[in-house]
Amino acid sequence: MSTTDLTGTTFPEGFLWGGALAANQYEGAYDVDGKGLSIQDVMPKGIVAPPTEEPTPDNLKLEGIDFYHRYAEDIALFAEMGFKVFRFSIGWSRIFPKGDETEPNEAGLAFYDRVIDECEKHGIEPLVTLSHYETPLHLAKTYDGWVDRRLIGFYENFARTCFERYGKRVKYWLTFNEINSVLHAPLMSGGIWTPLQQLSKQDLYQAIHHELVASASVTRIAHEINPDLKVGCMVIAMPIYPLTPNPADVLKVMQADHDNLAFSDVHVRGTYPGYFLRKLRELGVELDITDEDRNTLKNTVDFVSFSYYVSICETSDPTKQTKGEGNIIGGVPNPHLEASEWGWQIDPVGLRIILNQFWDRWQKPLFIVENGLGAKDELVEVDGVKTVIDDYRIQYLNDHLVQVREAIADGVELWGYTWWGPIDVVSASTAQLSKRYGFIYVDRNDDGTGTLERHKKKSFDFYQQVIATNGASLR
Ligand code: BGP
């Protein structure tokens, strides 16, 4: 592999450096100020365990890190790191506690006013995800989530409420977090209460269609309310490599890529690609698509955003089709890569590859809205100050950003980079706090004990320096 020496090269002027979080993983206060339950409140073990019906004192999900009450302190720390952008989600059930009401909950709306006030105070641009794995529980249980067409209307109402309330102060919006994950995690991603094993392909793909129509519809609504708003889709990005050069392996890669890319293809092109229609035919799925749906889908996005954690391999050899750990979509492990403590394989070059792939495919501005390393941290005292010497996280960040710089040199148009979990939060897949991503340590343990005090890790200074030099300090 040849790598141009770009040491000292800076990122484009105005590059949006920052961090990303999701309401259900850090806000806490799950039942405060009129908030209704979301599906997350009944998923106490994260994605890996079936839900319980209601949270009980014995089976309550580990609450976030009380951002709900400490937002000013936390945003001040982000500002100290130099954040230009802060990605967060709006808890749908804070605004519409059940999801199908017509009138919003004012106390919920007021909370995000306060969060945006703090961002403005520090000159930080908000980047808001409308739906980040937190469908109101009532919509999941009563309607089977996105399987039901009526969800489109409820979501439009929620989105319109947010655009009208915050649209003068929030320019960047994402419709659904990692929308392509619904194929693998229908409850978490699509609020679908029917367990995956019992869910028919017909219902799964109909739910996908409803989400895609809803996403396009609120893109139109956003632009009607304020033509300056920038609306993006958000997908799991994952380079897939053939395990061998066998054409059968390469074909497997193409088909797996299609599964992932169909979602952003529709968002960018405004119509279903032929390979997707073929897949539906082969599955025997006949989608209910109205003429109005087809028109709505033509409201395409302004940019494509994505999370990037892992790459995987594909093989046509049935004896090698093991499934390694990874971000929701696991795959055949790559013998050339090391993995994190949670088995997620680390591949900085894959980030350059995916940036090029996406840019070549759509020629739309890109935004990396998640990337990060979940690791076990040890709190130590240095000169009387509590900290974490997280050189492994610094290495990960540096190596990925070097590849981002390479991709920019390749000609990719990239608006920004938000590290996942700039402060330790509850993991989406395992509901642990000990899977830490943060530059800021939070004193909270998996059993809920801890003072919730915040401590800067070594990586805090590193990222601060990267931002201050607009990337020139990368090694
Ligand atoms: C993505 C989710 C995030 C986040 C991240 C890390 O899939 O969008 O919500 O949690 O993965 O995953 P985890 O928390 O499982 O380590």
Does the beta carbon of 429 lie inside 6 Å of ligand 1?
yes
Each residue of 258-298: pLDDT tens digit?
999 999 999 999 999 999 999 999 999 999 999 999 999 99
Would you state the pLDDT for residue 55? 78
Each residue of 90-126: pLDDT tens digit?
999 999 999 999 999 999 999 999 999 999 999 999 9
- Flag whether pLDDT at 330 surpasses 90: no
Model confidence band, residue 47 (pLDDT cutoffs 50, 70, 90):
confident
Model confidence band, residue 8 (pLDDT cutoffs 50, 70, 90):
low
Would you state the pLDDT for residue 327? 83
Does the beta carbon of 344 lie inside 6 Å of ligand 1?
no
Taking the centre of ligand 1 as the mean of its atom positions, its distance from the CA of residue 368, in whole angstroms, is 14
Does the beta carbon of 190 lie inside 6 Å of ligand 1?
no
Domains of the chain are: 16-468 (3.20.20.80)
Using the atom order of ligand 1, give the atom closest to the CA of residue 372. 6
Would you state the pLDDT for residue 1? 42
Using the atom order of ligand 1, give the atom closest to the CA of residue 374. 16
C-alpha to C-alpha distance for 262 and 171, rounded to whole angstroms: 26
Question: What are φ and ψ of residue 65, in 5° steps?
Answer: -120, 25
Structure tokens at 401: 């950003």
Strand partners, 17: 417
From residue 383, give the alpha-carbon distance in Å to each of 202, 380, 441. 61, 10, 17
Strand partners, 313: 241, 332
Each residue of 159-168: pLDDT tens digit?
999 999 999 9
Does the beta carbon of 24 lie inside 6 Å of ligand 1?
no
C-alpha to C-alpha distance for 399 and 402, rounded to whole angstroms: 5
Residue 193, helix vs strand vs coil: coil
| Listed range (74-78, 235-239, 282-286, 326-330) with the worst mean pLDDT | 326-330
Single-letter residue type at 42 = V
Taking the centre of ligand 1 as the mean of its atom positions, its distance from the CA of residue 178, in whole angstroms, is 10
Average pLDDT over residues 345-374: 98
- Flag whether pLDDT at 151 surpasses 80: yes
Would you state the pLDDT for residue 254? 98
| Shortest-distance Cα residue to atom 3 of ligand 1 | 428
For the chain, the average pLDDT equals: 95
Would you state the pLDDT for residue 3? 55
- Flag whether pLDDT at 2 surpasses 70: no
- Flag whether pLDDT at 438 surpasses 80: yes
Would you state the pLDDT for residue 323? 83
Would you state the pLDDT for residue 40? 94
Taking the centre of ligand 1 as the mean of its atom positions, its distance from the CA of residue 389, in whole angstroms, is 23
- Flag whether pLDDT at 4 surpasses 70: no
Helices (H), 270-347: 274-283, 291-297
Would you state the pLDDT for residue 429? 93
Question: What count of Cα atoms within 13 Å lies in the side-chain half-sphere of residue 473?
Answer: 13
Each residue of 400-409: pLDDT tens digit?
999 999 999 9
- Flag whether pLDDT at 463 surpasses 80: yes
| Listed range (11-15, 45-49, 140-144, 236-240) with the worst mean pLDDT | 45-49
C-alpha to C-alpha distance for 384 and 393, rounded to whole angstroms: 23
Does the beta carbon of 178 lie inside 6 Å of ligand 1?
yes
Average pLDDT over residues 62-69: 94
Average pLDDT over residues 131-150: 97
Question: What count of Cα atoms within 13 Å lies in the side-chain half-sphere of residue 9?
Answer: 15
Taking the centre of ligand 1 as the mean of its atom positions, its distance from the CA of residue 423, in whole angstroms, is 13
Using the atom order of ligand 1, give the atom closest to the CA of residue 178. 8
| Listed range (116-125, 151-160, 319-328, 360-369) with the worst mean pLDDT | 319-328
Does the beta carbon of 435 lie inside 6 Å of ligand 1?
yes
Model confidence band, residue 62 (pLDDT cutoffs 50, 70, 90):
confident
Q: Of 44-48, 223-227, 328-332, which has the strongest mean pLDDT?
A: 223-227
Taking the centre of ligand 1 as the mean of its atom positions, its distance from the CA of residue 285, in whole angstroms, is 30
Each residue of 408-430: pLDDT tens digit?
999 999 999 999 999 999 999 99
* Comparison of pLDDT for 53 and 312, the residue scoring more: 312
Does the beta carbon of 22 lie inside 6 Å of ligand 1?
yes
Task: Please identify every residue annotated as catalytic.
Answer: 178, 370
| Shortest-distance Cα residue to atom 9 of ligand 1 | 428
Cα–Cα nearest to 270, from 214, 216, 210:
216
Using the atom order of ligand 1, give the atom closest to the CA of residue 236. 7
Taking the centre of ligand 1 as the mean of its atom positions, its distance from the CA of residue 428, in whole angstroms, is 5
Does the beta carbon of 427 lie inside 6 Å of ligand 1?
yes
Task: Determine the angle formed by the axes of helices 348-362 and 247-269, rounding to 10 degrees.
Answer: 60
